[in-house]
């Protein structure tokens, strides 16, 4: 495809629109992913994605599946805008000699994009995870309370369970969580899990962007034309799901580290190495693939939609329709 000079505002608008549409479509699956990744061997509330969604609807109604969506919808615009625009920027800088980008340079551009996006991704994921996982913790607390009332558990576990559940705070809003973190830990509180986020997002972008670019080229009839929108969509889906599954172990670690509250008899972690070691020892290697199919189902349409919107250049059309100022 011939390089088309697109303004930075257009890139940001395109990325923002793409993110909003994508998140709205797939957020319930993302909620199921977070809850499946967070549950440990102690009290397993959900057996699968469908079981999680059904139980969420029963307990919290349809909109319970969108708990935490407001955070994503607010911050996904700058997050996706930075990711897509940064990748374009680095690709442009690396191709100044006029030659086609090599695979190594495509991977470097993806690496740069993944590094830039964590500025927004880390606090967004931090807040979203607390809101998404609150329902799982509340359901676990209700189950243990019911067991203690009906006398299904012996006295020892009842008292320990009651003590554990009493420490679980009632659900908070994103604003309340933000204020509490800023007051107690400063800006660093919102960036808990930054290292794990980098560990996930940089490899993801290194895999995703080169794979998408090369798959998308297959739909070009000649280098001066864009691929049809359906090729961009399919390429985004394939590249997104492949990259998502590849880095899922890092996503599990990130989710565990960013969760501020724990359920009954669940491990706490001091860092990436400690988290990896405890998951491997207590839950086995398969635990690193928890939520992998959910993540693939989230990322595939999310990035498929994102690339269609981005490559259709909706923002350029919008900006061209605006009245031009005087020279």
102-118 pLDDT, tens per residue?
889 999 999 999 999 89
Range of the domain at 55: 8-39+46-139+172-321
* Residue 1: inside a domain: no
Averaged pLDDT for residues 67-81: 82
* Residue 265: inside a domain: yes
Per-residue pLDDT reduced to its tens digit, 39-48 = 887 667 888 9
* Residue 156: inside a domain: no
Residue predicted with more confidence, 88 or 315: 88
Averaged pLDDT for residues 13-35: 81
* Residue 181: inside a domain: yes
Averaged pLDDT for residues 171-177: 82
* Residue 317: inside a domain: yes
pLDDT at residue number 313 = 60
Alpha helices in the chain (DSSP H): 8-38, 49-60, 69-94, 103-150, 155-166, 174-185, 187-190, 194-217, 229-246, 248-258, 272-283, 292-312, 314-321
Which CATH number do you get for residue 257? Answer: 1.50.40.10
Averaged pLDDT for residues 11-29: 76
Residue 171 falls in which region: left (phi positive, over 0), alpha (psi -120 to 50) or beta: beta
Residues in CB range of 115: below 8 A, 6 or more apart? 198, 201, 202
Averaged pLDDT for residues 93-108: 84
pLDDT at residue number 63 = 87
* Residue 160: inside a domain: no
pLDDT at residue number 12 = 66
Q: Using 50, 70 and 90 to split pLDDT, how confident is the model at 302?
A: confident
Per the structure, the count of domains in the chain is 1
pLDDT at residue number 3 = 44
Averaged pLDDT for residues 246-257: 95
Averaged pLDDT for residues 306-310: 70
Residue predicted with more confidence, 202 or 15: 202
* Residue 165: inside a domain: no
Q: Using 50, 70 and 90 to split pLDDT, how confident is the model at 179?
A: very high
């Amino acid at each position: 495809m011939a390089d088309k000079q697109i303004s930075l505002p257009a890139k940001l608008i395109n990325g923002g629109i793409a993110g909003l549409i994508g998140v709205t479509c797939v957020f319930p699956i993302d909620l199921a992913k977070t809850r499946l990744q967070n549950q440990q061997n102690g009290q397993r509330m959900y057996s699968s994605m469908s079981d999680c969604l059904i139980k969420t609807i029963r307990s919290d109604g349809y909109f319970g599946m969108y708990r935490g969506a407001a955070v994503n919808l607010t911050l996904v615009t700058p997050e996706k805008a930075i990711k897509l625009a940064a990748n374009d920027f680095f690709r442009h800088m690396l191709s100044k000699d006029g030659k086609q980008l090599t695979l190594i340079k495509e991977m470097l551009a993806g690496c740069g994009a993944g590094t830039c996006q964590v500025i927004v991704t880390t606090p967004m994921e931090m807040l979203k995870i607390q809101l998404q996982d609150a329902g799982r913790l509340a359901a676990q607390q209700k189950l243990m309370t019911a067991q203690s009332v009906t006398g299904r558990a012996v006295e020892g576990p009842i008292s320990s369970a009651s003590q554990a559940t009493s420490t679980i705070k009632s659900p908070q809003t994103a604003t309340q969580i933000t204020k509490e973190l800023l007051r107690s830990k400063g800006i660093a509180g919102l960036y808990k899990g930054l290292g794990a986020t980098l560990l996930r997002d940089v490899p993801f972008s290194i895999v995703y962007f080169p794979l998408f670019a090369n798959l998308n080229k297959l739909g070009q009839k000649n280098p001066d034309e864009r691929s049809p929108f359906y090729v961009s969509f399919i390429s985004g889906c394939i590249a997104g799901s492949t990259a998502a599954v590849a880095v899922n172990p890092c996503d599990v670690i990130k989710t565990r580290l960013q969760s501020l509250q724990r359920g009954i008899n669940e491990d706490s972690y001091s860092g990436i190495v400690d988290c990896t070691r405890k998951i491997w020892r207590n839950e086995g290697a398969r635990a690193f693939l928890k939520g992998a199919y959910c993540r693939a189902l989230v990322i595939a349409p999310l990035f498929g939609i994102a690339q269609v919107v981005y490559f259709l250049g909706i923002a350029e059309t919008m900006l061209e329709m605006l009245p031009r100022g005087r020279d």
